[in-house]
Amino acid sequence: MKLLIKLAITALLANAAFRIGTQYLVHYNFRDSVREAAMFQAKTDDELRDRVMEIAASYNVPQTDGGFTVKRDDRQALLHGTYTKRIEIAPGFPYDWKFDWDIAAFVNTIPLLPGAPTPKSVKPPR
């Protein structure tokens, strides 16, 4: 009987670790895609805001337009944002997990050479 209880607890902990770990992996991929968009793809603040929202939609991140800020210096883009995602830790026990992200990216203003490969686009998770 004790063994069954220990196995059930271990299964619940493994399930929770898998679900949380999966969401952190999505979060890190989202951040990397936003950093790439800030460095290479977006030329203006409005274009960068639109691009962040597109990236959030492709990764199923519940990012709102007012949930992040965009500031640009001469050659640097500073982005800060936060979002809350509901993660079901155990069957029937959802928890609202808060994710924060800060990005400081140096903007590449040098045009690409003819024939150079273009920066890769956002690929949604599989």
| Residue 122 pLDDT level (bands cut at 50, 70, 90) | low
* Residue 110: per-residue pLDDT: 74
**Which tens digits make up the pLDDT trace of 8-57?**
999 999 999 999 999 999 999 999 999 999 888 777 889 999 999 999 99
CA distance 34 to 106: 12
In the chain, beta strands by DSSP E: 68-72, 76-90, 93-106
| Residue 117 pLDDT level (bands cut at 50, 70, 90) | confident
Q: Residue 100 has what DSSP assignment?
A: E
Distance of CA 51 to the CA centre of its chain: 13
Handedness of CA 12, 15, 21, 23 (dihedral sign): negative
Asked whether the beta carbons of 36 and 58 are under 8 A apart, the reply is no
Whose structure tokens read 């990236």? 55
Q: Is the pTM of this model over 0.85?
A: no
**Which tens digits make up the pLDDT trace of 80-112?**
999 999 999 988 899 999 999 999 988 877 777
**Helix, strand, coil abundance in the chain, percent, nearest 5:** 45, 25, 30
* Residue 39: per-residue pLDDT: 86
